[in-house]
Amino acid sequence: MPSRRQSQASGTRTAILDAAERLVQTRGFNGFSYADVAAELKITTAALHYHFPGKAELGDALIERYAARFGEALEGIAAMDAFAPAKLRAYKDLYLGVLREHRMCLCGMLAAEYQTLPDTMRKSVVGFLDQNCEWLSALLEAGRSERSLHFDGTAPAAARMIVGALEGAMLVSRPYAGTEHFELIANRLIEDFTLPARPARARR
């Protein structure tokens, strides 16, 4: 069993990650400092450096934890006893849930600051986006096979379009302090994939 000191250290580390994640999702990675986290948790910056020697290490840990949680959510959706459209809507709801908490997707925020991030964080952000696109691509292929999803072109291209559209929808919804704009965009996006293409009218 972990000792009391180990449990306290683990709890402090989790609290640091929780506070830093919220700050990234609301301000961006460059919008907060160790002093902000320390003040929120009422600990010293030395305590932060004990767990995360530098901000890059903190950022790496944030992405790793966020990607792991997101991956678990994707596994849960994949295990649903449902057709592809329901799973696609459940995927959209992952973003909606974050927005309802007045936050942005962690890696979406980091992608906006990509050029200023440490190299390890850049690779992790790309990995997160690739993870989502690969999962979506498999879902789209399955939906096309069961004829419940309809789209032109390749599944990987469509998957990247969905990720980009949802991340962008979160961004343009942010100034309005609500989810209405996101839901309008996201629901139309899902509708475009679930409705069969209309046959072209014959010329008279």
Prediction pTM value: 0.89
Is 82 domain-assigned? yes
pLDDT of residue 2: 59
Is 175 domain-assigned? yes
CATH number, domain containing residue 128: 1.10.357.10
Domain that holds residue 131: 56-194
Is 35 domain-assigned? no
Is 89 domain-assigned? yes
Report the amino acid identity of residue 1.
M
pLDDT tens digits, one per residue of 70-92 = 999 999 999 999 999 999 999 99
pLDDT of 44 > 60? The answer is yes
Instruction: Give the pair of three-digit tokens for residue 36.
Output: 């902000």
pLDDT of residue 177: 84
Number of domains in the chain: 1
Q: In 3-state terms, what secondary structure has residue 94?
A: helix
Report the amino acid identity of residue 103.
R
Is 4 domain-assigned? no
Is 168 domain-assigned? yes
pLDDT tens digits, one per residue of 105-119 = 999 999 999 999 999
Over range 17-21, report the average pLDDT.
97
How many C-beta neighbours within 10 Å does residue 100 have?
Answer: 12
pLDDT of residue 10: 74
Q: Which residues contact 125 (CB under 8 A, 6 or more apart)?
A: 63, 107, 110, 111, 114, 117
Is 8 domain-assigned? no
pLDDT of 103 > 70? The answer is yes
Is 44 domain-assigned? no
| pLDDT level of residue 146 (50, 70, 90 thresholds) | very high
